[in-house]
């Protein structure tokens, strides 16, 4: 495996300054524990192995199974919703209370329960669902990310669950990948900033003492998971040593520094070696370099996959040895407890050291003490009166409004004129499942429509906003809800075309149905033929078409984009997405989202905004007329508004600088339109000459501001000059002497680094 060369370890301060009292409690408990109890703390099983559904469909704990799992094997962690179906907060309290009572009675150590609360309280009925992470990234608003996480933590704790497998901070750089919507877009800085904000929202400011209304995070998926060579989930990844350190590691570095208590490992291989077997990435990079004392947990059954799928181990026992010695602290089995028996054998055989067992157990115990589980293993739901209430609903609505992106608005057709008749069409027009995507009440989100009667689909929200008498609904294309996520019923396009004769505008809601992980793989990024044909037929009527893109990843629409007068990408906005869209289309609210990814135009031109300058190839002269100029549908950071903004007076405090300086940029931004709006001010840098081919540009800072008409604000953007460094061919960070171009809006200026600096340690 080609990674970075061995580097001298830097003497770093602890990522989380330790609390002496907690450390004393951990050590005292560790000394009293048997080997079996220690291994139990390193094991995580799914809730389905400790209970069953009764004839009424209610999940009940099974005392005999609890005796085996907790009484005999001393299991220290349980995860997931029973049957992967959301439960009420009262049911969660019942389940977790039963587990905790058993755990405290049998081993004197509380269980830690974990849920994938990935875009709000996704596994708790009646909770608040926010837009997915990729939407949050489109807001370029750190406060939104933090507030969504804070509310999610509050509502999750109402059911006594103390741990979530979130935030996801992989880089969504390949639009084919079915999990791109779980991340904060393609840029490492945005993922780092939004991820950090989410960590603080979930956990609070003090990671040693997680508050009553906070929960622990598990960052995922460490790392490189999101750029599979095939574009399909859980398939091999090949990343340069430079990109691995410089881009993919960056969000995890920022979030660990913010106090993240746990990290989940990447399911697949990076450069030929499965991450669950990679001592360098798991132990050296994450634990030793960062002096991080948190818990490193596997993803679903990934120790088993070392021998079943990856073929780097002969059997499960060897796979356990490899993973634990590589640095894994907790195994998400999730159905089998033979992990406990096999790991015990490995210890007795000298294949896994007691020091490694003690280190892993110590980390698990430390997290439980930091969560206060020994003192308060469960909570009273009555102590969380804001659960699912109006205050949280309002926050989710505003979040949805701020994360939708206006991509096209020819002749200012939007906002829609009052009193006009609208045809609402397309398979996404009347579905809450489509608005939420995966990780919504169930893993695949396929049952969402059964849980969301109180919320409005796009159709319902538009009827409420514009009047039922002005709305005509004819979908033309519908999804087959009993089939795969991509399955569609026989189209009835002619019905939609006929209905279009009776309206003034066509609102075509197209995109994808919900999916998650491997079931969401695809073979063609182009939007479905039925949906493309629907839009073409509607366009032929001569009525203006407004495309509403409701999709987890950017599906190719270059065939139909020219036919649309307006295009809005709402991505996956959550339960309040329909209401938010209606508010925006009516002009009651203003668009302010910007794309957090590059929207591709052609399947063979998938590219990110920070591509290498040498990728932009001009036409060659003569017989070889290669036309390989970079082509995209819409660029990263693109997004329109109902108002306009102008930039001026871009300045910097030091035009000549060194690596130790802080660069302070200021730029004046004016609202030159007639209505209030919000603008995300993005600051990019371009290294003009470097010893390695430089990226075309990199996002270095951003701030979101609100401006009234004619109002001017001076925006200040600060960054350490060292952030302009890159990882060189030798694997070391370097900031080279030379010129950089800085850009904000249409303003540019050049700055100059006066001397070269190379770092001998892995991180700047």
- Residues with catalytic roles: 299
CB neighbours of 190 closer than 8 A, spacing ≥ 6?
137, 140, 184, 596, 699, 702
Residue 306 neighbours by CB distance under 10 Å = 26
Q: Are 409 and 579 in contact (CB under 8 A)?
A: no
- The helix/strand/coil state of 319 is helix
Q: Report CA 343 to chain centroid distance, whole Å.
A: 33
Q: Report CA 119 to chain centroid distance, whole Å.
A: 9
Please tell me the chain's helix, strand, coil percentages from 3-state DSSP, rounded to the nearest 5: 35, 20, 45
Q: CA torsion angle for 167, 173, 174, 177 (degrees, to 10)?
A: 0
Rounded to an integer, what distance in angstroms lies between the CA atom of residue 704 and that of residue 680? 4
Residue 523 token pair: 């073979």
Q: Which residues of 502-537 are buried (b: 16+ CB within 10 A; e: fewer)?
A: ebebbbbbbbbbbbbbebbbbeebbbbebbbbbbeb
- The helix/strand/coil state of 377 is coil
Terminal CA-to-CA distance of the chain, rounded, Å? Answer: 24
Rounded to an integer, what distance in angstroms lies between the CA atom of residue 566 and that of residue 587? 14
Rounded to an integer, what distance in angstroms lies between the CA atom of residue 495 and that of residue 475? 8
Residue 443 neighbours by CB distance under 10 Å = 22
Residue 248 token pair: 């993919």
Rounded to an integer, what distance in angstroms lies between the CA atom of residue 458 and that of residue 576? 9
Rounded to an integer, what distance in angstroms lies between the CA atom of residue 174 and that of residue 434? 21
Rounded to an integer, what distance in angstroms lies between the CA atom of residue 707 and that of residue 703? 13
Rounded to an integer, what distance in angstroms lies between the CA atom of residue 604 and that of residue 715? 38
Q: CA torsion angle for 629, 634, 639, 645 (degrees, to 10)?
A: 30
- The helix/strand/coil state of 307 is helix
Single out the residue of 556, 564, 574 nearest to residue 404, CA to CA.
574
Residue with tokens 């309280």: 121
Rounded to an integer, what distance in angstroms lies between the CA atom of residue 467 and that of residue 218? 45
Q: CA torsion angle for 499, 500, 505, 508 (degrees, to 10)?
A: 80
Q: Report CA 669 to chain centroid distance, whole Å.
A: 30
Rounded to an integer, what distance in angstroms lies between the CA atom of residue 99 and that of residue 76? 10
Residue 158 token pair: 């109402």
Query: Is the CA virtual torsion 346, 350, 352, 354 positive or negative?
Result: positive
Rounded to an integer, what distance in angstroms lies between the CA atom of residue 316 and that of residue 326? 15
Residue 729 neighbours by CB distance under 10 Å = 11
């Amino acid at each position: 495996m080609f990674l970075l060369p061995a580097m001298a370890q830097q003497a770093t301060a602890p990522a989380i300054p330790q609390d002496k009292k907690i450390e004393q409690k951990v050590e005292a408990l560790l000394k009293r524990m048997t080997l079996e109890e220690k291994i139990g703390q390193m094991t995580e099983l799914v809730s389905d192995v400790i209970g069953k559904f009764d004839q009424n469909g209610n999940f009940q704990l099974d005392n005999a199974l609890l005796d085996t799992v907790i009484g005999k094997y001393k299991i220290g962690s349980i995860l997931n919703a029973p049957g992967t179906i959301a439960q009420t907060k009262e049911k969660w309290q019942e389940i977790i209370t039963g587990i905790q009572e058993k755990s405290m009675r049998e081993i004197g150590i509380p269980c830690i329960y974990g849920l994938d609360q990935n875009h709000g309280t996704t596994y708790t009925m009646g909770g608040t669902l926010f837009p997915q992470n990729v939407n949050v990234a489109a807001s370029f608003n750190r406060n939104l990310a933090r507030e969504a996480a804070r509310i999610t933590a509050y509502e999750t704790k109402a059911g006594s669950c103390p741990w979530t497998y979130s935030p996801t901070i992989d880089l969504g750089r390949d639009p084919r990948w079915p999990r791109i919507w779980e991340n904060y877009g393609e840029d490492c800085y945005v993922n780092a900033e939004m991820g950090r904000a989410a960590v603080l929202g979930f956990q609070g400011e003090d990671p040693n003492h997680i508050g009553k209304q906070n929960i622990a995070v598990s960052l995922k998926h460490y790392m490189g998971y999101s750029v599979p060579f095939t574009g399909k989930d859980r398939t091999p990844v090949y990343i340069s040593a430079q990109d691995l350190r410089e881009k993919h590691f960056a969000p995890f570095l920022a979030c660990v520094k913010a106090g993240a208590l746990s990290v989940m490992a990447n399911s697949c291989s990076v450069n030929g070696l499965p991450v669950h077997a990679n001592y360098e990435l798991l132990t050296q990079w994450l634990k030793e370099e960062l002096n991080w004392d948190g818990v490193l947990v596997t993803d679903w059954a990934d120790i088993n996959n070392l021998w079943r799928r990856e073929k780097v181990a002969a059997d499960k026992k060897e796979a356990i040895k490899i993973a634990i010695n590589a640095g894994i602290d907790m195994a998400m089995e999730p159905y089998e407890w033979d992990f406990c028996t096999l790991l015990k054998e490995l210890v007795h055989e000298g294949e896994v050291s007691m020091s490694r067992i003690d280190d892993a157990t110590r980390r698990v115990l430390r997290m439980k003490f930091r969560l206060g589980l020994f003192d308060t293993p469960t909570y009273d739901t009555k102590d969380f009166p804001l659960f699912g209430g109006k205050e949280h609903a309002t926050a989710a609505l505003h979040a949805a409004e701020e994360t939708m992106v206006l991509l096209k608005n020819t002749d200012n057709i939007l906002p829609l004129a009052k009193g006009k008749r609208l045809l609402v069409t397309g398979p996404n027009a009347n579905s809450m499942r489509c608005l939420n995507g995966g990780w919504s009440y169930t893993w695949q989100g396929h049952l969402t429509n059964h849980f969301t009667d109180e919320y409005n689909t796009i159709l319902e929200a538009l009827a409420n906003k514009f009047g039922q008498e002005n709305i005509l609904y004819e979908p033309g294309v519908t999804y087959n809800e009993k089939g795969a996520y991509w399955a569609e019923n026989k189209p009835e396009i002619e019905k939609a075309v006929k209905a279009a004769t009776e309206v003034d505008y066509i609102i075509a809601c197209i995109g994808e149905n919900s999916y998650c992980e491997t079931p969401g793989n695809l073979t063609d990024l182009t939007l479905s033929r039925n949906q493309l044909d629907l839009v073409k037929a509607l366009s032929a009527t001569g009525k203006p078409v407004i495309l509403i893109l409701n999709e987890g990843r950017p599906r190719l629409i270059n065939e139909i984009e020219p036919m649309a007068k307006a295009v809005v990408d709402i991505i996956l906005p959550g339960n309040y997405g329909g209401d938010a869209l209606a508010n925006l289309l009516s002009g009651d609210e203003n668009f302010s989202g910007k794309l957090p990814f590059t929207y591709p135009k052609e399947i063979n031109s998938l590219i990110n905004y920070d591509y290498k300058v040498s990728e932009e190839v001009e036409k060659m002269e003569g017989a070889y007329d290669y036309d390989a100029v970079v082509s995209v549908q819409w660029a990263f950071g693109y997004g329109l508004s109902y108002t306009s903004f102008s930039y001026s007076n871009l300045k910097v405090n030091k035009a000549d600088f060194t690596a130790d300086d802080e660069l302070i940029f200021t730029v004046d931004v004016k609202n030159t339109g007639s209505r209030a709006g919000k603008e995300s001010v993005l600051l990019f840098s371009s290294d003009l000459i470097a010893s390695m081919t430089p990226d075309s540009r990199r996002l270095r800072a951003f701030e979101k501001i609100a401006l009234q008409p004619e109002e001017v604000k001076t925006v200040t953007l600060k960054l350490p000059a060292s952030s302009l460094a890159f990882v060189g061919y030798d694997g070391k960070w370097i900031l080279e002497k030379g010129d950089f171009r800085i850009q904000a809006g249409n303003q540019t200026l050049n700055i100059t680094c006066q001397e070269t600096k190379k770092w001998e340690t892995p991180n700047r």
